[in-house]
Chain A
Amino acid sequence: MNIYICENTLDGLFSSIFQAYEDRHPHEDNKVISTPINNYELFANYIPVLTNAEYAQRVNRKLLNILDCTTYYQLCSAFLCESTIAFEISNSIYHTVVRCIDMAKSKTSTKNLMKDLTNPYISQIFKCSKRVMREADHLYGFTRFKELQNGILFARIHPENNLITILMDHFDNRFPLESFIIYDEPRDIAALHHPHCSSILLKHPSFDDEAICKYSEDENRFSQLWISFFNSITIESRTNPHLQQQMIPKRFWKDTIELT
């Protein structure tokens, strides 16, 4: 058994896939792991892989070439999953990529590949991707921006999965003329958008703590209006906190001002 160990990024994973093809060991004997290893296996051959942007790009291009966009999107979004169900997801993606490449070689369409849920790798990718997309759907709605004194809209999020890039795409199109920042606090990553520019992603942005807590004059007024709207919209005779919590799980509450 050969175990490729790579950095926990999509580029890292794609670099290992590239390396695995270079090494020409039979794929069935390989494994790719991108998270820290706790249990070393005695009879395995561990191969550390350095992330290489160019190799990663080549794998990426290949996938874009042979996959339809839904399948491609599922593979990539599954990687963003950080729930326990994502255990060794990199390995599942690796083996599925191998399968895709084989299918492309034999000119079989990969269109229905993700429907083969009897395959454990695919089933895991399917579940992880679904979980990520579900959380993204939640955050499309539950993300809240506050207007800072300088007019920038600032949102803090605490997602289970590493999905800031998905949110960034969404809000780029939605607020093209706004300046906004989305900050994934636990991961310390921020997405920055300026009008007429494409957004950028910053690791460890080290914001000025004071600046991001000074809100504009309007901010208080509109957030109060919103909270009052939110409270008056409830039909008392239908009150059902259990249902409410099921629909908007508690973990989102601290970032949605109407519920904190």
Chain B
Amino acid sequence: MNIMKNTDLMKKLDILSDAAKYDVACTSSGVTRRNDGTGLGNCHSSGICHTFSADGRCVSLLKILFTNECIFNCSYCINRRDNDIVRTSFTPDEVCSLTMQFYRRNYIEGLFLSSGILISPNYTMDLIYQTLYKLRKENNFQGYIHVKAIPGADPDIIEKVGFLSDRMSINLELPTRKSLSALAPNKNRRTILSPMRQIQNGISSNKNELMVRREHHKFVPAGQSTQMIIGATNDNDYQILSVSEKLYQNFNLKRVFYSAFVNVNMDSRLPMTSGGPPLLREHRLYQADWLLRFYHFSADELLSEDRPNFNIFLDPKCDWAIRHLEYYPVEVSTADYNTLLRVPGIGVNSARRIVGARKQGRLSYSSLKKMGVVLKRALFFITCNGRQMYPTKLEEDYIVRNLLSDIPSPKETKNMSYRQLSLFDDFNIDKVQVLN
């Protein structure tokens, strides 16, 4: 193996950030912490994007691997044991200095530290612990820290790290046991799910412990997230979305991230992704994920054994609406909040605004527009004071034809990312604006 010792920092950063970039989670959200006046940094619950890379993704954290050496051999991963690549590792001091110096220039919100597995899971987790200890206690860093737990590390070291970080995540990698053992032979569901459960229990015991007074002694206050790779195996959208739903319900995850598969190793056992990574599919999953978390939809409503994959042309919410025309039209001046949420063109914010505004006075189509309702789509599904905006038919073919003339073709959806979904309250609005 080609291990570089004493490499200069620039080279190391190059290698170890390049190796970390396929991890999609980069948000700095979920925790608010004011600076106590004795150190550097604070946290904003909604997160802050500091820049956007050429692929349009938000850069919020210094996202690096501690080392790209690895004793495991996951077939989708560039750092797998069998690959002949340059290997290097940071020292805890180097990570501290980069984080502090980047932070005070306002390049970043904090650190996202992941790692290959050096010697053993415990050995690596301990290096990560030392790094965070220095950063938090010696440098008094109060910004955001997201750490990847290493599958197979002991519970007590995971716990120690948890008390120093804001978010912890452990990647599920693949939605089914079968695909996991095929592609990541050294990992299994147990070594992934048991730390996930431990972190969940740690977070919930936060709430009971009165001893925990100071904010930054809390255990993983911003919650935990995970990531699945999309399109490396034959698992369908229904399987993936059902797994996400379970993770939200049973493991209380804050976010599930989806990463469109890129065949970095040109491994012939895996799909070649020559037409580019399956971005539209990733996009649909983010849309559906959004519907699970904020729109009270369930996976079974959106997909089923018989219809296991998302519609290419319609986003999941529109698709659902078209298949349930019996729920419409919705009268906006009386419908309850949850019913409003199911109208294409009405998002979380606009639904809230409608509920607020109709207490003050009568709604009209022009006021709906001001509240951010995308009338172009909503008009087929609503009445306002008993009247339609234009005479339209509540008929599947008719609506689909009209919607499609407005909706970007899948090629154009390439220009959108999940990040936009979280910036705007309703991806319907977003889509229309993006294309105009």
Contacts and interface: CB of A to CB of B under 8 A. Distances in A.
B52 interface: yes
A232 B55 contact: no
A116 B415 CA distance: 35
Contact of B371 (A117, A142, A222, A259): A117
Interface stretch (B11-19, B169-177, B195-203, B230-238): B11-19
A224 interface: yes
B59 to A, nearest CB: 6
B56 interface: yes
Contacts of B49: 141, 247
B101 A141 contact: no
Contacts of B359: 112, 115
A119 B63 CA distance: 46
A37 to B, nearest CB: 28
A244 B56 CA distance: 4
A167 B414 CA distance: 34
A200 interface: no
B419 interface: yes
Contact of B21 (A112, A123, A224, A232): A232
Nearest to A240: B56
Given A112-B359, A174-B42, A234 B53 contact: yes
Contacts of A243: 52, 55-56, 415-417
B105 interface: yes
B98 A242 contact: no
Nearest to B14: A232
Contacts of B210: none
Contacts of A237: 262, 273, 276-277
Nearest to B359: A112
Contacts of B51: 141-142, 230, 248, 256, 258-259
B116 to A, nearest CB: 17
Interface in B80-114: 98, 101-102, 104-107, 109
Nearest to A143: B106
B54 A247 contact: no
Given A142-B50, A145-B106, A173-B35, A118 B101 contact: no
A142 B21 CA distance: 21
Interface in B39-94: 39-42, 44, 48-60, 62-63
Nearest to B26: A233
Contact of B360 (A115, A140, A145, A248): A115
Interface stretch (A47-55, A58-66, A80-88, A175-183): A175-183
Contacts of A247: 49, 52, 56, 58, 419-420
Nearest to B140: A177
A118 B364 contact: yes
A194 interface: no
Interface in B235-262: 260, 262
B353 A117 contact: yes
Interface string B1-45: 000000001100110011001100000000000110111111010
Contact of B105 (A115, A147, A235): A147
Given A117-B353, A240-B54, A246-B56, A175 B104 contact: yes
A223 B107 CA distance: 9
B112 to A, nearest CB: 11
Nearest to A172: B35
Interface in A34-93: none
B55 A239 contact: yes
B104 to A, nearest CB: 6
B59 A238 contact: no
A140 B52 contact: no
Contact of A244 (B13, B40, B55, B414): B55
Contacts of A211: none
Contacts of A141: 48-51, 60, 106, 109
B27 to A, nearest CB: 12
Nearest to A242: B415
Contact of B17 (A115, A171, A176, A229): A229
Nearest to B63: A233
A112, A118, A233: which has the most chain B beta carbons within 10 Å?
Answer: A233
A152 B357 CA distance: 48
22 contacts: A112-B359, A115-B356, A117-B357, A118-B370, A141-B48, A142-B50, A174-B35, A175-B41, A176-B37, A176-B38, A222-B101, A225-B10, A225-B98, A230-B51, A232-B13, A232-B17, A233-B18, A238-B260, A238-B279, A240-B55, A240-B414, A247-B419
In the A-B complex, the 6 residue pairs with the smallest Cβ-Cβ separation, listed nearest first, are A243-B56, A115-B356, A238-B55, A247-B52, A116-B360, A141-B50
Given A175-B40, A239-B54, 5 more contacts: A116-B360, A118-B362, A141-B50, A174-B35, A233-B53
